[in-house]
A and B are shown apart, each in its own frame.
Chain A
Amino acid sequence: DAGVIQSPRHEVTEMGQEVTLRCKPISGHDYLFWYRQTMMRGLELLIYFNNNVPIDDSGMPEDRFSAKMPNASFSTLKIQPSEPRDSAVYFCASSSKSYNEQFFGPGTRLTVL
Chain B
Amino acid sequence: QKEVEQNSGPLSVPEGAIASLNCTYSDRGSQSFFWYRQYSGKSPELIMFIYSNGDKEDGRFTAQLNKASQYVSLLIRDSQPSDSATYLCAVNSLRTGGTSYGKLTFGQGTILTVHP
Contacts and interface: CB of A to CB of B under 8 A. Distances in A.
A105 B101 CA distance: 21
B115 to A, nearest CB: 23
Given A42-B106, A50-B101, A55-B101, A99 B32 contact: yes
B82 interface: no
Interface stretch (A16-24, A75-83, A90-98): A90-98
A59 B107 CA distance: 15
B93 to A, nearest CB: 10
A97 B102 CA distance: 7
Contacts of B92: 98-99
A104 B102 contact: no
B46 interface: yes
Interface string A33-64: 10000000011110010100001100000000
Interface residues of B, number: 22
B43 A107 contact: yes
A91 B103 contact: no
Chain A facing B: main interface SS:
strand
A104 B47 CA distance: 13
Nearest to A98: B102
Nearest to B104: A102
Interface residues of A, number: 22
B80 interface: no
B88 interface: yes
B105 interface: yes
Interface of B: 31-32, 34, 42-46, 49, 51, 88, 92, 100-109
Interface of A: 31, 33, 42-45, 48, 50, 55-56, 91, 95, 97-99, 101-107
